[in-house]
Amino acid sequence: MTEIAAPRRASIAPRRIPWPIVPFAIMLAVLVAMTVFAPYVAPLDPNQQNLLARLKPPGHVARGVTYLLGSDELGRDVLSRVIYGARVSLSVAFASVVLSGIFGSLLGMVAAFYRGWIEIIIMRIVDIVLSIPAILLAIITVAVVGPSLYTVVIVLAFTRWPRYARVAYGQTLSVANMPYVRLSRFMGAGWPRLLGRHILPNIAGPLIVVATLEFGLMVLFEAGLSFLGLGVQPPTSSWGAMLSVGRNYVATAWWIATFPGLALFLLVLSINLIGDYTRDRLDPRSR
Amino acid sequence: MSAFFLKRTLQAIIAVMGVITLIFFLQRLSGDPTLLLVPQNATQADIDALRHSLGFDRPLVVQYLDFMRNLLSFDLGRSFVQNVDVTTLIWSRLPYTLMLAGGALVVAFGIGIPLGVLMAVRRDKPEVRPMMALVLACQSMPTFWSAILMILVFAVWLGWLPPSGAREPASLIMPSIALGMLSMATFARVSRTAVLDELEKDYVRTGHAKGLPMRRIVMRHLLRNASIPVVSVGALEIANLLAGAVITETVFAWPGLGQLTVQAINARDFLVVQGVVLLGSVTAIVLNLIADLLYSLIDPRIRVGGDTA
C-alpha cells in the first residue's frame, strides 16, 4: 500500500525492507517483549491501590514510588497497568486469530474440496455471519453468554472465521484441480494428506495476510468490547477498560485515557503497517 | 439481467432468515431465555410465570415460528425493564443515530474521496507522503481514543465545542469526525486504488495526447470510471458506520441507538439488544444488496460474470 508497489523491475532481487517498517517492527517487538516479561518490566503491581496517591499527574513521587505516567482513580500506577494491559490485548488477539484462522481455513478448504451440499451449507453460513456487523454480533453474544476473557476470545473467533473461510475456499478451488493434486488423489492419498500436505502449503500465503490484518482488528475489537464493559472484567487491566474510566476523568486527569489509547494506537498502527507490507510481498496482485 | 436481480435478492432474503435464526438460537444457547429477560431482582415465581406467558415452555419449533411471525409484523417484543415496546424505543432513538451516521458520512466522503484522488493523481510528489501517513493513522486510530482526545482538546482545553450530549447543533461535530475517521481512511484507500487503476488506461493517454489538462481528464472522464468500487464500498461503509456508532455514542453520550444498546446491556434488557442487533444486521444486508445491484447497473459486465459471493 505504501510506496512499495510502484516499480516492477526489482522483482528478482530481494527487495529491501522499506524504512518506515523498521521502527514499527521494533516497536511491535518491544510490545511483545513487554507482554512476556510484564512482571519484570512493570514498576509496580498493576492492581496495587494507593488511595493517598489518587489521580496524580505523570512524574508524581509518593512515598519513594514514582508514578511515571501518573496514577488512576484508585491510585494505581498507569504505566504498570498499560504494560499488563498489553498482555490482555495481545493474548486475546492472538488466541482469537489462531482459533478463527484454523476453524475458518479448515471449513473453507473442506467446502471447496468436497463441493456439493457441504459447500452450499458452509458458504451460505459464511455469507450470513459476514453480513452481520461484527461488533453487533459480538455484543449480542456477550449479552447472552456473559462477559469474561474466554467469552471475548470465543466471540471474536466466532464472528471472524468467515473471513478465512472465504479466502481458503477461493484459493482451494483454484488449487484443487491442479494436476499434482489430482495425481496424488489418484495414487490413493486420503483427504487429510491432500488438504494438509498439498493444498494448505499452497494457500497459506493469502491466509497469513488475512491473519495479520485481522490481528490489528482483533486488538481494536477487544479494546472496544472492554470499553463497553463487555470484555475483560475489572480489576484485570485492559486498555479498553482504562479508556472507559479515563473518559470520566478527561477534564481532571487526562493521562488515564491518553496513555493506554496511545499504546493501543501504536500497536495497531505497527500491525497494520506490517500487514500491508506482508500483503504486498505475498500477494503482488493486490495494491 | 432480471435473473441476476432475482438471484441476488433471494440471497439477501436467505441471509435475513439466517440472521433471525442465528439470533433465535443464540438466545436459547444460554439455557433459559427467560433469565435474559427478567430484571435482576425477580423471584422464581415471577420467572416461572413469565416463562409460561412468553411461551418458552412450548416446543422449540413452535417458538421459532412464533418468533418469525412476530418479526414479520415488526413486533420486537416489549422491554420488561422500561415497560415500553422495543419498536417505540428504537423509533425514538433512530433519528439521532441517522444524524450521526450522516455527519460521519459527510466527513468520510468529503475528505476521503478528494484525498484518495489527490494521492493517486500526484503519486510521485513529496506532498503525498504526509497524506498517506494521515490515512494510515486514521485507519489505526481506535474511535474511542480519538474521541476522548478530541474532547480533551476542543472541549476541555479550548472550550470551543460541547463535550457531550445533543443539545445544540455544534454537538454533532466531534462525534461525526470521530466516527467518520475510519471510513474516511477506507474511502481514501479505495478511491486511490481505483484512480491508480484508471490512470493506466488508454483513454487517459488519449486525453493527454489531445492536450487536455489533467484536471479535465480526471473530472470529466476518470472519476466516473473510478466510481464503481467506491460505490460498492460506500454501501458497506454505511453499515459499518451504524455499527461503529455504538462506541462513538457511548463516548459522547449521544442519545442514539448505540447508547440505547449499551444501556440495555447493563440493565439486562435483552429484547432491546436483540432488536437493535436485528435492525443493524438487516440494514447491513439490505445495503449490501443495494451495493451489488448498483454495481451491476453501473457496470454491466458484472451481471455476465454472475458470481458476486
- How far is Cα A65 from Cα A52, in angstroms, rounded to an integer? 12
High-pLDDT (> 90) share of chain A, %: 7
Q: Is A129 on the interface with B (CB under 8 A)?
A: yes
What span, in angstroms and rounded, lies between the C-alpha atoms of B120 and A258?
34
Residues A267-286: tens digit of each pLDDT: 888 888 888 787 777 765 55
pLDDT tens digits, one per residue of A167-218 = 899 888 888 778 888 888 888 777 788 888 888 888 888 888 888 888 988 9
Neighbours of A63 (CB within 10 A): 7
Residue from B7, B145, B237 whose CB has the most chain A CBs within 10 Å, to mutate = B145
In whole numbers, what is the pLDDT of chain A averaged over residues?
80
With 70 as the cut, is the pLDDT of residue A34 above it?
A: yes
Give just the sign of the alpha carbon dihedral A190, A192, A195, A196: negative
Please name the residue that has the C-alpha cell 479550548.
Answer: B158
Q: Output the pLDDT for position A234.
A: 74
All three cell numbers of A155: 466471540
CATH number for the domain running over A77-286: 1.10.3720.10
Distance CA B262, CA B266 (A): 6
pLDDT score recorded for residue A12: 45
What is the CB neighbour count within 10 angstroms for residue B187? 27
Domain boundaries, chain B: 93-256
The verdict on a CB contact (< 8 Å) between B145 and A264 is: yes
Looking at residue A15, its pLDDT comes to 59
Residue of chain B minimizing CA distance to A169: B309
| Interface size between A and B, measured as CB pairs under 8 A | 144
Q: What is the mean pLDDT of residues A236-260?
A: 82
Instruction: Give yes or no for residue A136 having a pLDDT over 60.
Output: yes
Cross-chain CB nearest to B284 (options A131, A144, A216): A131
Please state whether beta strands A60-62 and A65-67 pair in parallel, antiparallel, or not at all (unpaired): antiparallel
pLDDT at residue B236 in the model: 76
Q: Which helix (H) or strand (E) holds B79?
A: strand B78-79
Largest Cα separation within chain A, whole Å, is 76
CA distance A205 to A171: 10
* CB-CB under 8 Å, A216 with B145: no
Residue B301 confidence class, pLDDT cut points 50, 70, 90:
low
CATH topology of domain B93-256: MetI-like fold (1.10.3720)
Shortest distance, CA B79 to any CA of chain A (angstroms):
15
Q: B111-153: per-residue pLDDT in tens?
A: 988 898 888 888 888 888 888 888 888 888 888 888 888 888 8
pLDDT, one tens digit per residue, over B210-261 is 888 888 888 877 887 787 778 777 877 888 787 788 888 888 888 888 888 8
A272 vs B239: CB contact, 8 Å cut-off? no
Residue-wise over B19-56: b if at least 16 C-beta within 10 A, else e? bbebbbebbeeeeebbebbbeeeeeeeeeeebbeebeb
Chain B closest CA to A258's CA: distance in Å? Answer: 7
Q: How many helices (H) and strands (E) does chain A have?
A: 11, 2
Over residues A47-91, the pLDDT tens digits come to 777 777 677 777 767 766 777 777 777 778 778 888 888 888 888
Amino acid identity for residue B260 in this structure: L
User: What DSSP state is assigned to residue B201?
Assistant: S
Q: What is the DSSP letter of A56?
A: P
A8 in contact with chain B, both atoms CB, cutoff 8 A: no
Q: A102 pLDDT exceeds 90?
A: yes
What's residue A2's pLDDT? Answer: 45
State the pLDDT confidence band at A6, using cuts at 50, 70 and 90.
very low
Q: What confidence score (pLDDT) does residue B307 get?
A: 44
Q: Tell me what pLDDT residue A254 has.
A: 82
| Structure ipTM over 0.85, yes or no | no
Residue B123 near chain A (CB below 8 Å): yes
For residues B109 and B227, give the distance between their C-alpha atoms in angstroms, rounded to a whole number. Answer: 12
Cα(B35)–Cα(B122) distance, rounded to whole angstroms? 60
Q: Does A101 touch chain B (CB under 8 A)?
A: no
- Nearest CB among B139, B152, B251 relative to A254 is that of B152
In angstroms, what CA-CA distances link B60 with B31, B181, B246?
13, 44, 32
Using the Cβ of B47 and the Cβ atoms of chain A, whether some distance falls under 8 Å is answered with no
CA distance A14 to A25: 19
State the DSSP H helix or E strand holding residue B208, giving kind and residue range, or none if neither.
Answer: helix B202-210
d(CA B278, CA B18): 11
pLDDT value for B303:
56
Contact B29 A144 (CB under 8 A): yes
Min Cα–Cα distance to chain A from B215, Å: 22
Nearest to A250 among B151, B273, B288 (CB): B151
